[in-house]
Structures are given as C-alpha cells and as structure tokens.
Amino acid sequence: MELIDRYIYAVTQKLPESQREDIASELRGLIEDMLEERVNGREVHEEYVEEVLQELGNPKKLAQKYRGTKRYLIGPEYFDTFLYVLKIVLIAMSVGIGISFVIQIIINPVSILDHFIEMIISIFTGLPMAVGWTIIGFAIAEYYQEDGLQELKKEQDWKPSDLPPIPNPKGSIKRSESIAGIVFLVIIMAVFAFSTDYFGVWFFQENGFRGVVPFLNEGTYVQWFLLLILGLGILKEVIKLIYGKWSYHLVMLIAIINIASFVGVLFMINGPDVWNPNFINELIQRGLFTEGSEAFHVVTQIWNNATNWILAILAIGLIWDIVDGVIKTVRSK
C-alpha cells in the first residue's frame, strides 16, 4: 500500500509537527474504512486504492482544510502598504547608488570604469539588502498583529462610542518625513557601501577637490556595522510608515530598535582598529596645523575623546527619539 503512505505523507508534511502523527493515523483508518467498503470482501486492487484517494482529493487541499486559517509572512492587509514602501525604498536606493557614483566620478574621474563596476556590484548587493530589510519590517508588523479570535471578539463587542476620534494631526506621522528619512539613510548607506573613505575631513584647493582624511579605518568590519545600523534606521522609518500614527506600541518598537542600534554602535566603537590610526599625522601632512601648536592640542584632545562624545551624543539622540514619540502619542490622545 505504498500509494497510501505517499498520500498520507503528502497531506501531513504540510501540517504542524505536533498534529502530524494523530492526523496520519486517523487518515489511515479512514482510507482503510473506505477501501473495505469498496472492496467488499474481494481482493484489494491498486485500482481501488486509487479510486479512494481520488475521492479524498488533492492532498494539498486536504492539508489546507486541516490547517484552517492561512498564514502569511506579509498578509493581504499589509500587502499594499508593503508594495508602496518597497517602491520608495528601491527608488531611494537607486538614487543613492547613482549619486555616489557621480560623487566618485567627480573625485576621481580617471578610474571611471572601476566606479562603474563598483556601481554594478552595489546594485547587486545593496538592492537585495534593501528589499530584505523592508520584508523584515513588515514581517514584524504582521507577526505582532492581533490574532483572529481576539479581533473577532473586539469586533463583536463594538459600540458606536468605540469609534476612534478622527486622528489628531499632531499624532499622525508625516509620510514625507519618513520617506525623506529613508532616502537620506539610503544615500548614506550607498556611499558607505562603496567605501568609508569619504567620511572624514575634506580638503579643497583652488583647482578643486584634493582629498579626504578619513575618520575610520578603511577595510575593517566597521563598514558592515555601519550598514547594519543604517539598516536598522531604515527599518524604523518603515515601521513608522506602516503604523501611520503615534502609539505606545510604536514607541516601544522604536525603543527596541534604538537600543539595538546603540548596542551595535557600542560594540563597533569599542572594537579594535575602528579609527584611522594616522588621522592626526595625515592632518599635519596636509598642513592643517603643525605639531605642538595650540590647534594640534585641541584637535588631538577632541580626537582622543571622540569615542565617548559620540556615544553620549548618540545616546541623547536616541533617548530623545523615544521621548519625542511618547510626547506625540500623549498629545494625540
């Protein structure tokens, strides 16, 4: 009865593991009962088995009936918003990659072919990453959606007095702000995806750009950390776009993301080889100041304390972000 085994397997493999065994034995009993009735004491033929399985129908459909509700990564309720945000993200990403290509040509027009190849590479690495983060954002929203029974209960208990007030404009999240935020983050991301070399002190002369003394140590894991943190920033804007208005739920999600970003920065900044070890020397070489001068001491001190300052400013910024959300939520009530 190999056919029966195959049928039962086809149904149960698409069901939660905890129910598989029980459903399999019940289904086997059913098939045997149906066979017995059909065969009526005669010898069991393969044809009879086929007839019975045909009557039970497509195993996919049967499994669907057993599952009852359908499960989604991004459900129909969010799908349209998802497409909308995805479009924004992809356009922003393409613009970002384009802009950083232009910047590179301005800085170094000779190796235009290299820049072009780099652009192609970042299209193939950056775009899937942007799509990935967008999906993660929506999948989180979908996951935290209230389950069916709770929603049903709420719907049944509905009274006209439950009607939400027309949202206070103070509490609504401006789409344009979130979109601008995403575009901005994506542009920075695109530039960093090429190189962190342009993140530093820029030097210009009469005949134009002369070069940059970078803050960061090129070619370490730092670049990936920065991309991850910027990605979290985009995720935050996407979640804001989905929610559309301030609520404590949203503030909580933002707090979680901010804490994650802060921990990320903390890890990155305390790791070895983050900062450009030759920063001060390069500034001297460029003739910005001479060793031992007053400017030298000031810059050196700032440079040496940079880690703490950045962490402090970042912490204040991230906490303000949360406080701001709480204030806006309170005001909109």
Partner 1 sequence: MMSDAQKHMEKLMQELRRGTITIGVLSQLSEPQYGYSLVTMLGDKGIQVEPGTLYPLLRRLEKQGLLASQWDTNDTRPRKYYLLSETGKEVYDLLVVEWKGIVESLNHVINPKGGNEDGTD
Q: Which residues bind partner 1 (CB under 8 A)?
A: 19, 22-23, 25-30, 32-34, 55-57, 61-62, 65-66, 68
**What ranges in 244-293 are assigned the alpha helix state H?**
248-270, 279-285
Residue 68 C-beta: closest distance to partner 1, Å = 6
Residue 2 C-beta: closest distance to partner 1, Å = 18
Tokens of 2: 């190999």
Nearer to partner 1, 32 or 321 (CB): 32
Nearer to partner 1, 29 or 277 (CB): 29
SS3 helix, strand, coil % of the chain, rounded to 5?
75, 5, 20
Residue 62 C-beta: closest distance to partner 1, Å = 5
Residue 58 C-beta: closest distance to partner 1, Å = 9
Nearer to partner 1, 52 or 185 (CB): 52
Residue 165 C-beta: closest distance to partner 1, Å = 36
User: What is the spatial distance between Cα 87 and Cα 289, in angstroms, rounded to a whole number?
Assistant: 48
- Placement of tokens 């942007």 in the chain: 130
List residues bridging with 245 in a β-sheet: 172
Non-local CB neighbours of 289 within 8 Å, separated by 6+ positions = 283, 295, 296, 299
Nearer to partner 1, 54 or 290 (CB): 54
CA 219, chain centre distance (Å): 24
Nearer to partner 1, 13 or 25 (CB): 25
Residue 174, phi then psi, degrees to nearest 5: -70, 120
